[in-house]
Amino acid sequence: MSIKKYIKRGVKYVLTGEPINHITTHIVTLAPNELLKGRTALITGGTAGIGLAIAKKFLQSGADVVITGRTNERLASACEELKQVSATGKVYGICMDNRDVSAFSVYIDSISEKIRGNIDILVNNAGVLGGDIKNVTEEEYDQILNTNLKGVFFLSKYFGESWKTKGLAGNILNIASSSSLRPAISAYTLTKWGIRGLTLGLGKIFAPYGITVNGIAPGPTATQMIIKKETDNITFSTNPLGRLVMPEEIANMAVFLVSEMGRSIIGDIVYMTGGSGLVTLDDVKYSF
| Distance of alpha carbon 183 from alpha carbon 192, whole angstroms | 11
**Residues taking part in catalysis:** 188
The residues, ordered by sequence, that sit 6+ positions from 173 with a Cβ below 8 Å of its Cβ are 121, 122, 123, 124, 213, 214, 215, 216, 254, 257, 258
| Distance of alpha carbon 245 from alpha carbon 157, whole angstroms | 30
DSSP code of residue 175: E
| Distance of alpha carbon 183 from alpha carbon 287, whole angstroms | 13
HSE-CB for 85 with a 13 A CA cutoff:
26
DSSP code of residue 146: I
| Distance of alpha carbon 281 from alpha carbon 252, whole angstroms | 30
DSSP code of residue 32: S
Backbone angles phi, psi at 71, to 5 degrees: -130, 140
Neighbours of 19 (CB within 10 A): 15
Cα maximum dimension of the chain: 66
Strands (E), 160-287: 171-175, 212-218, 269-272
HSE-CB for 261 with a 13 A CA cutoff:
10
Q: Which amino acid, residue 191?
A: T
Rg, C-alpha atoms of the chain: 19
CB-based contact 35:260 (threshold 8 Å): yes
